[in-house]
Amino acid sequence: MKEKILALLIARQGEFLSGEELSRCLHVSRAAVWKAVESLRTDGYRIEAVTRRGYRLLESPDLLSTGLILPLLDDPRPGRLTCLDSVDSTNTYAKTLAAAGAPAGTAVIADRQTGGRGRRGRSFYSPAGQGLYLSLLYRPQGDPARAVNLTAYAAVAVCLAMEKVSGLQPGIKWPNDIITDGKKLCGILTEMSIEAETRLTDYVVIGIGINVNQKPEDFPEDIRDVAAGLAHASGRPVNRAALAAAVINETDKAFASWESGGKAIYEQYCARCLNIGRKVKLVRGHTETEAFAEGIDEDFRLLVRWPDGTREAVGAGEVSVRGVYGYT
Ligand code: BTN
């Protein structure tokens, strides 16, 4: 009952809902509604009660739960979202669900990861109560080579979601780090499974890790100079459930745009890419070479000009980029 009242209040998005309407919808007495509201307040929800207008939700505690997130989704299919207190890696968990036949759109969120994974075998710092660790499962049709681009689509989706909830306009460090002021707010790890016989994509899991509530001093020393929290960077408190919902909604839209072959996301990616028009250091194995980043092609490869004037399109699997100017 408490969860149902909460869902109705969230769906109203800060507007009043009368006690009479609540008791009618839920077939309970107004006294029972009042009791449930009191209990929600004890859980940390700030709910205003005004005579003749009813109740409205002013603030939710910064928790990640299906009750808080599902009502904010454009596609709130029950069962699409799993929220966990702790898990080794949401990507690993989502891949297990995918192998067991979970449908496209399945999402896994954790408050904390004990073995959060980053690109190139690195770990991803994932403390409780501070970040958003989210994995989304899709089942793209067609050539797996095109599905690789989904990670860039997700980068644009995360930027749009961050903008929506915090007002901050982040940029993208090629291929898919989300950056503000030269520091990393978010990393994305996309993993795919391809069926060997047909060479078709079985599933893609897009793993998104966002630093949200950390202040600079909260990061371990080795990443303090290169990492930032969204709330601190934007100067606004960020509700992680609202951020999670915005990221899922924007990534769903980005996936639909990938399916329809639209160019809008590619254009947004280029507009946000911080490397274009700057010198970059490209690392291939143990070799580091400086080049000039001229643009991004439609497969999201970085178009570079080498010092001898020759040009090349490099893929994210071949090289990594080190900034000549700090992290970017
Ligand atoms: C990177 O910056 O190298 C990518 C980091 C990706 C981290 C996210 S957190 C949610 C998902 N689960 C993981 O284990 N990794 C991704």
State yes or no: pLDDT of 88 exceeds 90: yes
Q: What is the predicted pLDDT for the residue at 31? A: 93
Q: What is the pLDDT of residues 186-205, one digit of tens each?
A: 999 999 999 888 889 999 99
Tell me the pLDDT of the chain averaged across its residues.
Answer: 93
Q: Is the CB of 251 under 6 A from ligand 1?
A: no
Q: What is the dihedral of CA 171, 283, 188, 227, to 10 degrees?
A: -60
Q: What is the pLDDT of residues 231-250, one digit of tens each?
A: 999 999 899 999 999 999 99
pLDDT tier, 322 (very low <50, low <70, confident <90, very high otherwise): confident
Q: Which of 117, 184, 211 is the best mutation target for the ligand 1 pocket, counting ligand atoms within 8 Å of the beta carbon and taking the most?
A: 117
State yes or no: pLDDT of 207 exceeds 80: yes
What percent of the chain has pLDDT above 90? 81
Cβ contact 72:242 at 8 Å = yes
Closest CA to 112 of 132, 92, 82: 132
Distance CA 193, CA 1 (A): 41
Q: What is the pLDDT of residues 118-174, one digit of tens each?
A: 998 999 999 999 999 999 999 999 889 899 999 999 999 999 999 999 999 999 999
Ligand 1 centroid from CA 124, angstroms = 6
Ligand 1 centroid from CA 19, angstroms = 43
Cβ contact 292:316 at 8 Å = no
pLDDT tier, 326 (very low <50, low <70, confident <90, very high otherwise): low
Q: Which residues are catalytic?
A: 119, 184, 322
pLDDT tier, 323 (very low <50, low <70, confident <90, very high otherwise): low
The type of residue at 121 is G
Q: What is the predicted pLDDT for the residue at 10? A: 80
